[in-house]
């Protein structure tokens, strides 16, 4: 074998070795990239879990709220506008706050997950305006007490002037009714509310 052939073979070996090293480096880089992605996902998930755990107050917490997860209270709610039920079961109203919300595609059960969180905070989180006189949809349509119609509130069958500062208790039943209903019609709405099966 001549010197030229030996040099060619040596060069082939070096070229093969360099190719192999490049391939190994490429696979290592891909593997490290995948590993970094998995670590990033785990880190973000861990941070989110930590943020929502009962030991941490998430950003935007209601003023004076207790620790998240400190309680789990349920109350039934029925909102009637001109005799039609307002539907909180749509995605637009589901789990807008970890503190108090509607969930599991249900619009009849309020879930309260911390002490001292008011119904006013629930409606703020849903972008629904609620005062003692007006119920305002997110699209700004307002239903306000006037000479013909009135906004009424009932907690456990007792009429109250306002519910915005009310903190629900377990198994409460809350009726919001707008219209010109008579006593019989209000009693029918209360009976309907009493029939709700609260979800936990």
What is the residue-wise DSSP string for 155-168? ETTEEES--TT---
pLDDT of the residue at 4: 63
Task: Read off the pLDDT of residues 75-114 as tens digits, 9 standing for 90 and up.
Answer: 999 999 999 999 999 999 999 999 999 999 999 999 999 9
Any domain includes 125: yes
> Are 85 and 181 contained in the same domain?
yes
Domain containing 24 equals 1-52
DSSP element (H, E) containing 120: helix 119-125
Per-residue model confidence (pLDDT) at position 54: 40
Q: Alpha carbon 83 to chain centroid distance?
A: 28
| Same domain? 89 vs 188 | yes
166, part of any domain: yes
CATH number at residue 143: 2.170.130
44 and 86 both lie in a single domain: no
100, 94 Cβ separation under 8 angstroms: no
**Same domain (yes/no): 97, 44:** no
| Residue 66 lies inside a defined structural domain of this protein | no
Q: What is d(CA 200, CA 111) in angstroms, rounded to the nearest whole number?
A: 8
CA 88 to chain centre: 12
Please indicate, yes or no, whether residues 182 and 92 belong to a single structural domain of this protein.
Answer: yes
Residues 77 and 140 in one domain: yes
Domains held by the chain: number: 2
Poorest-pLDDT segment among 27-36, 105-114, 125-134, 152-161? 27-36
Question: d(Cα 109, Cα 187) in Å, to the nearest integer?
Answer: 20
Do 107 and 45 fall into the same domain? Answer: no
pLDDT per residue as tens digits for the range 114-150: 999 999 999 999 999 999 999 999 999 999 999 999 9
CA distance 151 to 122: 18
């Amino acid at each position: 074998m001549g010197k030229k052939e030996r040099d060619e073979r040596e060069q082939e070996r070096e070229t093969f070795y360099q190719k192999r090293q490049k391939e190994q480096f490429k696979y290592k880089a891909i593997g490290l990239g995948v590993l970094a992605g998995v670590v990033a996902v785990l880190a973000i998930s861990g941070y989110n879990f930590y943020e929502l755990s009962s030991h941490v107050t998430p950003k935007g917490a209601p003023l004076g709220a207790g620790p998240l997860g400190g309680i789990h209270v349920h109350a039934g709610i029925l909102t009637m506008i001109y005799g039609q039920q307002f539907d909180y079961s749509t995605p637009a109203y589901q789990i807008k706050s970890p503190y108090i919300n509607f969930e599991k595609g249900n619009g009849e059960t309020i879930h309260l997950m911390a002490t001292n969180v008011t119904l006013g905070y629930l409606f703020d989180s849903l972008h629904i305006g609620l005062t003692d006189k007006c119920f305002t949809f997110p699209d700004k349509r307002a239903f306000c007490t006037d000479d013909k119609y009135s906004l009424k509130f009932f907690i456990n069958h007792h009429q109250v002037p306002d519910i915005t500062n009310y903190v629900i208790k377990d198994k409460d039943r809350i009726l919001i009714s707008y219209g010109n209903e008579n006593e019989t019609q209000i009693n029918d709405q209360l009976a309907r509310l009493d029939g709700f099966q609260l979800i936990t």
